Amino acid sequence: MAVHLVPKGYKIFENLPVIGWHSSGKAIVSDGRHNIYVPYAIPGEQVDVTVAKRQKRNYIAGDLTSIVQASAHRVSPACPHFARCGGCNWMHIAYQQQLAFKKQLISQALAKYQIPHPPIKEVVPSPQPLAYRGKVDFTPGITPQGEIYWGYHPAEDPHTVFPVEECYITDPQVIATALHLQKVINAYHKSLPDSVKLYEIIKGFTLRCNKNGDQLLTIHAVEVLPRVEELVNQITRYNPLLKSVFLKLQHPLHNTLMHLWGDSYLIESMNRWLFQLSADAFFQPNIHLADQLFQKIVSLASPSADDIIYDLYTGVGTIAIHLAPYAKHVIGIENSETAISDARANQLRNRLDNLSFVVGDVLKTFVPEFINLHGRPDIVVLDPPRSGTLIETLKNMIAFRPKRIVYVSCNPVSLAWNLTYLKDFYTIESVIPFDMFPQTHHVETLVRLERKSKENA
């Protein structure tokens, strides 16, 4: 048995069983009386756990001290930053077993809220379990010698930054650009007067790429950088993949986006469609699995030529454009003006005339007055944020009585909570998970709901 030095204010629990998963991706360890929520453990293991003595009784967090009996599914994480970063919180689990555990998380959420459903389909795996992300955000740090480096915040510590020279879930060419940018920034910093503290001005940067490898860079800063044209020239000189550079000025009340160089957007191809992506646009991070996801959404929606479809939280119109050839009309609603601008450009780019994109909060826009003007929905597709959609939107959806709903969710818990309002009026016909986020506990879930007859509702 391992001998542990116990820090003051902490207690060691030894040889405890790991009995399941919490929705946060932490493992549940039981001491016989309480559940302890512990990262990096795996159900079926026996572990030693360190717990702070003073905690709330309804949620006791612990740290994995040692593994007494390891799971057969435990693997050595590929990334050297695994334990410190926390971003890839399931990288210690064999990939096929990650898929099985994600299916279990969905099942747990649906069971918690007593949602009747058919058997959950097997999780559609990512073609690339590593190097799948087309977008990365880095935060600057500063060495004692005054060198600027790019890094991530450690798990549950937003005030610290540790240096990163590799990220195993991000496209390697994006990381190469980030490292080149780090060298350029430091040389540029040294050329500035001593009074200019560049690390106090630059707050981070975002790099994104498309499937062709084209890249768009956004530098986040609190003011315009001195001699910014010179900096941009150095950044872009030796990188043919970098197509666009933006500067986002961060203010307490609003942000300002400045186009510094190159194209105004990236072009991404999905199936037979082309999509314009501005610097602030949201797009599925796993660009290698997104094609299959959108194809499945169309299949589940099963539109006909007479159908009016509402696409709630439409973003840049990706789902709406995939649906348009099969429907009478598709109406996309989104509260981001930038995203709707991209969506309208994407409509023109793909030569579709049966689409309408509307800027507006879904809660305030998807209401009876709007429906009276644009027509009752035959099908509703919604892809809300992680928190899910709001109760009033669900009530309106039920009142409008679409024959079919396709719910796209990245959070099993908020999905299940929203389904509690729909289950009396709709039958869940399909639950299909997609692994858009390998090495993490996150999972994308598609649910098809069919309206019940009035007698059964």
* CATH code (residue 353): 3.40.50.150
70 is in which domain, residue-wise?
10-74
* Per-residue pLDDT, 2: 57
Instruction: Supply 432's token pair.
Output: 């299909």
Contact by Cβ (8 Å): 268, 287: yes
Which tens digit of pLDDT belongs to each residue from 49-66? 999 877 776 789 999 999
* 446 and 307 within one domain: yes
- Give 212's contacts (C-beta < 8 A, 6+ positions apart): 269
* 440 and 301 within one domain: yes
Rounded to an integer, the average pLDDT of 381-394 is 97
Lowest mean per-residue pLDDT among 45-59, 168-182, 433-447: 45-59
* 413 and 330 within one domain: yes
Confidence of residue 453 (pLDDT cuts 50, 70, 90): confident
* 150 and 113 within one domain: no
| Sign, CA torsion 104/105/108/110 | negative
Calpha distance 408→141 (Å, rounded): 37
* 325 and 227 within one domain: no
Percentages helix, strand, coil for the chain (3-state, rounded to 5) are 25, 30, 40
Which tens digit of pLDDT belongs to each residue from 27-36? 999 998 889 9
* 146 and 116 within one domain: no
* Per-residue pLDDT, 53: 79
* Per-residue pLDDT, 59: 83
Does 276 map to a domain? no
Rounded to an integer, the average pLDDT of 280-286 is 91
Q: What's the number of domains the chain is made of? A: 3
* 152 and 123 within one domain: no
Which tens digit of pLDDT belongs to each residue from 119-151? 999 999 999 999 999 999 999 999 998 899 999
Does 94 map to a domain? no
Percent of the chain with pLDDT over 90: 88
Residue 231, domain CATH: 2.40.50.1070
* 199 and 160 within one domain: yes
Confidence of residue 373 (pLDDT cuts 50, 70, 90): very high
Which tens digit of pLDDT belongs to each residue from 406-415? 999 999 999 9
Secondary structure letter of residue 367 according to DSSP = S
* 298 and 263 within one domain: no
In terms of average pLDDT, the best of 79-83, 99-103, 190-194 is 99-103
Rounded to an integer, the average pLDDT of 198-206 is 93
| Sign, CA torsion 219/225/229/232 | negative
Calpha distance 65→39 (Å, rounded): 11
Last residue of a domain, one of 268, 299, 322: 268
* 399 and 262 within one domain: no
Query: Residue 208 pLDDT > 90, yes or no?
Result: yes
* 145 and 53 within one domain: no
Residue 64, domain CATH: 2.40.50.140
Rounded to an integer, the average pLDDT of 416-426 is 98
* Per-residue pLDDT, 254: 82
* Per-residue pLDDT, 252: 81
Supply the mean pLDDT for the chain: 94
Confidence of residue 4 (pLDDT cuts 50, 70, 90): low
* 116 and 50 within one domain: no
Angle at 16 between CA 12 and CA 19, to 5 degrees: 135
SS3 category, 252: coil
313: alpha, beta or left? (left if phi > 0; alpha if psi -120 to 50): left
Contact by Cβ (8 Å): 436, 442: yes
Nearest to 213 by CA among 269, 289, 281: 269
Last residue of a domain, one of 74, 91, 112: 74
Confidence of residue 3 (pLDDT cuts 50, 70, 90): low
Does 85 map to a domain? no
SS3 category, 253: coil
* Per-residue pLDDT, 407: 98
Does 59 map to a domain? yes
Nearest to 339 by CA among 361, 320, 314: 314
Calpha distance 229→9 (Å, rounded): 54
Query: Residue 457 pLDDT > 70, yes or no?
Result: no
Does 87 map to a domain? no
CA dihedral 125, 128, 129, 130 (to 10 degrees): -170
Does 84 map to a domain? no
Does 214 map to a domain? yes
Amino acid at 233: N
Query: Residue 1 pLDDT > 80, yes or no?
Result: no
- Give 195's contacts (C-beta < 8 A, 6+ positions apart): none
Does 326 map to a domain? yes
Nearest to 443 by CA among 59, 121, 74, 207: 121
34 burial via Cβ count (<10 Å: 0-12, 13-18, 19+): middle
